[in-house]
Structure 1
C-alpha cells in the first residue's frame, strides 16, 4: 500500500491498495489491510484512537473550567452552560427543519423508471459486487433467495456472503447452500476489530468490480435497484461517488415502536438526506443499500473498521475528498426494530459512531474547513455532533422542567434569565410543534394514515433517544469500538408466538 498525505487527500485519493490479484493470493496481507489499512496510511482519518492529544487536552481544560466555575460562581456558571446548550438546541432545530423543507421538495431524489433501468444492454453494465455481512444468521437460504430476486445479469453479479470464520452456526448453514457461480462464501479471519466494516473491507478489497453495494441479512431490496443505480450514477456524472437508496420496513405495523421507527426512517431517507444534498452538506450514509463506484471506494480507504457507524464516516470522507453523494428513488425493505432494549442498543451504537465520526473529522480543523466549506462544517457540527449530544442533554432539561412545574422553585427560575427563557420557550413550543409537523407530514407523504397516531405520540419516542444517547456517551469512553449487534427476526418470532397462542387457545 502507498500512503497518501491527508493534505493531498483533497485531490481525491487517500491510499492505493495492492492489486486485487495480489490480495487474493495473500490472505494475511488482505486481513491486515482490512483491519489497519486506513489507520496505517491515513491515521487522521481513522477512529482507531478516539481522541488525538489536542482534543483530550481541550476536554480536560473545559471540564476543569466548568468544575472551577461551579465551585467559585455556581449560579453564573450554570446560566452560561444552559444558555450555550439552549442556543445549540435552537440552531439544531432550525437546521433540521430547513433540511426537511428542502428535502420535501423532492427535486434532489434521482428517479429511474423501470424502462430506463432495463434499457441498458448487458454488455454495457459493470460487474457488481454485493456485500452481505452476516453473523449468527442460520437462515441463509431465505437470505440467498431474496438476493436471487435481483434483476441483474448473473455473469456480472458477484454476491459475497461475509461470515466470521469462528461463527460455527452461520458457517454450518452456509455449507447447505446450493452452489451458484455468482455467489461466494467468504470466511473472514477472527481478527480484531470484530465489526461489520472490517468484514466488508475483507470482502470488497478482494473483489474486482465496477460497482459495489451492501445489503444486510434481513434486507429485501427492490429487484431493479442495481440497474437503477448504474443508470443514476451515469446520469449524475463522475463527481458522484455514491448513491444512497431509501430504506423502509416490512413490519411497520407490528407495534408502536416499529411505527415510530418507520416515521423516523421515512423522514430521514425521504427528506433529510435530500435536504443535505440540496445544501451541499456531507451526507451520512445508511448502513445498507448505498451504491459506490468501486475505484473511488478503494481510493478513499473503503470503510473504517474501527468506527461503529462506518457508513456515516464514509459519507464524510467522500465529501472531504471532493465527491458528492446522491439519493436514489428505490427502496430496500428491512426489519424495523420492535423491541425497546434492542432498539436502544442499535441507536446507541449509531450515536456513538456519530460522535466518533465528528471527533475524527475535526482533528485538523483548518484542513477540514477548507475541504468541507462553510455548509459542510455546519452539517458536521450541527447534524453529526449535535444529533447525539443534544439528545443526551434532553434528560437534564426534562428534569429542570419537571422541577419548575412541581415546585416553582425560584432557584430553577434563576437559571433562565429573560433572553435564555424566551429562547428556551421557542425551543419547547415551536421546536416540538415542528417535530410533530414533520412526523405528520411524513405519514402523509408516505400515504400511511395508520402512522398518524404514532406521529402525534413522537415525544415518547424521544425518551428512548435520550437513553440511547446517554449510553452512547458512556460507551464512547469505555468501549469505543465495541459493536453491539442488533438482533433480527423479532417480527417472525412475534408471528410464531401469536400463532402458537391462537393454536393453543382451545386447550387453555
Structure 2
C-alpha cells in the first residue's frame, strides 16, 4: 500500500502546525467548520430527495440486442450456487446474445463440484481463476474480463436475485445514450427478508433502509446532476471496452466498485442508474453484519486515500462528489457514536440533577437537522423500494448509526494491520428456491418479499 502523497502530507502538516500554535483557536475553527459542513450535508440530502421526485423517462428497447456477458465471482458458495444459476437462467434476454461465467477459485473444490453438478443454460460456463494474490473478488472479475466477448458486461453476487428485465433496460439505456460517454449503469439493490439462517430484525430493517436511501435516492440524485458516485458491488452494467480501457477493477481495493466509479470519471466517462432492481438478503445478526460493514468502510478509506493523492484529476465536480459520498459516509460513521453518547450523557446527567440539559442550542439544532434529513432520505427510499419505515424504525436509527462508528473503528484498525484482507459475507440458500432443482425450470424472477 502506497504512502501519503505530497498533497496529503502538506494538509496534515498545516493542521499540525495550527494545533501547535493555538490549539484552542484551531479547535474552535474546526467545530464551526463541522457545524457548517453538517448543515450543508442536511440540505444536500433535501436537494437529492427533490431531484428524484419525478421518475426518469424509460427509453425504448434497442433494435439490436448487444452480446451481454454476465459474471459472478464465487468463493465458498457451494450452498447457493444452484440457487444463483436458477436466478440467472430466469433472466429475460435472448439466450443467443448471452455469455456467462461463474468464476471460481482453483482450490474451492466444494463450489466447483456444486457448480459442475448444477444443470446450467448453455451460455453459462464455469471459469477457474488462476492461483495468485490477492485472493479477492476484483481479481477474479478481472480474469473474467479477459475472457469476455460481450459488448456489455454485468456483475452479480452469489445471493443476488436480479429482476428478469434488468439486462433489457440496461441495453436500452446504453443504446439511447447520445453523448457517447455513458460507461456504466447501476441497478438499485433492495433487501428482502431472510427466509432462513441467522437474523436480527433490528439490523435487517436498518440495513434495508440504509440500502434504500443509497440506491433509491442518493445515487439517482447524483446521476441526475451528472456527478460520479461509488458503484454498488453488484448489478453494475458496463461497456466492456471502456472497462478494459480503465484497467478493470483494482484487485487490492476491498470496495473495488466504489473506486471504479471515480476512476471512470477521471477518464472522462460517466455513470447512470436504471430502475429494475436486484434483490439481496441482509447480512444477518451483528456477528455477520460487522465484518461486512468493516469491509465497506475499510474500502472507502482506501478509495478516499487513493483519489485524494491527486485530487485535481477529479476536477472540482468530481472532488465534490467524492466528498459528498465517500467522505460524508466516513465522517458520519466516525462521529455518530460520539455525538449520540454526548447528547445522551448530557440529558441523563441533567435529569439526575433535576436541571434542564446545558447543551449548545446550535449544536443540537445541527444534529436534529442532520437526523431529519437522514430520516427523510431513508423514508423516501423505503417508500420506493416497498419497505416499512415508520416511527419505530426512525427512533431505532440512531442506535444503528452508532454501530457504524464501531465498524469504522474496526475498519481503521484493519486498514493499518490487514489492508487487503477480504472479510467475506456468508450466504445461505433460500428454501423458496428449492422447488426448481434442475436450475433451468425457474420462472422469471418475481419481486421477493421485502423486509418489513
TM-score under structure 2 length normalisation:
0.84
1 or 2, which has the higher helix percentage? 1
Partner of 1:187: 128
Matched position secondary structure for 1:243: strand
Matched, 1:355 2:301: yes
For residue 52 of structure 2, give the secondary structure of its aligned residue in structure 1.
helix
Q: Name the counterpart of 1:279.
A: 225
Match of 2:365 among 397, 422, 426: 426
* C-alpha displacement of 1:84: 3.4
Superposition pairs for residues 20-419 of structure 1, below 5 Å?
Answer: 49-54=1-6, 57-58=9-10, 61=13, 64-65=16-17, 68=20, 75-107=24-56, 111=58, 116-117=60-61, 120=62, 124-139=64-79, 140-178=81-119, 180-237=121-178, 238-251=180-193, 255-369=201-315, 374-407=316-349
CA distance, structure 2, for counterparts of residue 429 and residue 474 of structure 1: 30
Structure 2: give runs of 5+ residues left out of the alignment: 351-357, 433-452
Tell me the CA shift for residue 483 of structure 1. Answer: 1.2
Q: Distance in 1 between matches of 2:53 and 2:287?
A: 32
Q: Secondary structure at the match of 2:131?
A: coil
Partner deviation per Cα, 1:361-391 (whole Å, 9 max, x = no partner): 122233332xxxx332211123212211232
Checking the alignment, whether the CA contact within 8 Å between 2:188 and 2:278 is kept in structure 1 is yes
Offset of residue 82 of structure 1: 3.1
* Counterparts in 2 of 1:433 and 1:56: CA distance versus 1, 3 Å: closer
The residue that corresponds to 1:17 in the other structure is: none
Distance in 1, Cα, partners of 2:18 & 2:112: 52
Q: Give the drift of 1:337.
A: 2.0
Q: Quote how far apart the aligned CAs of 1:456 are.
A: 4.1
More displaced, 283-292 or 350-359? 350-359
**Is 1:473 aligned to residue 412 of structure 2?**
yes
Q: Where do 5+ consecutive residues of structure 1 fail to align?
A: 1-48, 409-415, 494-508
Report SS of the residue matched to 2:392.
helix
Corresponding residue of 1:32: none
Distance 2:266 2:49 in 1: 23
C-alpha contact 1:51 1:359 (8 A) present in aligned 2: no
1:151-201 Cα shifts (integer Å, max 9, x gaps)? 222222111001111112212222313365312111112311111111000
Count of residue correspondences:
420
8 A Cα contact 1:280 1:376, kept in partner: no
The answer as to whether partners of 2:292 and 2:424 remain within 8 angstroms in 1 is: yes
Aligned to 2:78, the other structure's residue is in SS state: coil
- Bigger relative contact order, structure 1 or 2 (CA pairs below 8 A, ≥6 apart): 2
Determine the C-alpha separation between the residues in 1 that align with 2:366 and 2:287.
29
Query: CA 1:180–1:403 in structure 2 vs 1: closer, same or farther (change >3 Å)?
Result: closer
Q: 1:229 to 1:444 in 2, by over 3 A?
A: closer
Other structure's SS at 1:86 match:
helix
CA RMSD, Structure 1 to Structure 2 (Å): 2.8
Are the equivalent residues in 2 in contact too, given 1:338–1:491 (CA < 8 A)? no
Normalised by the length of structure 1, the TM-score is 0.76
- When residues 179 and 226 of structure 1 are mapped into structure 2, their CA distance, relative to the original with a 3 A threshold, is closer
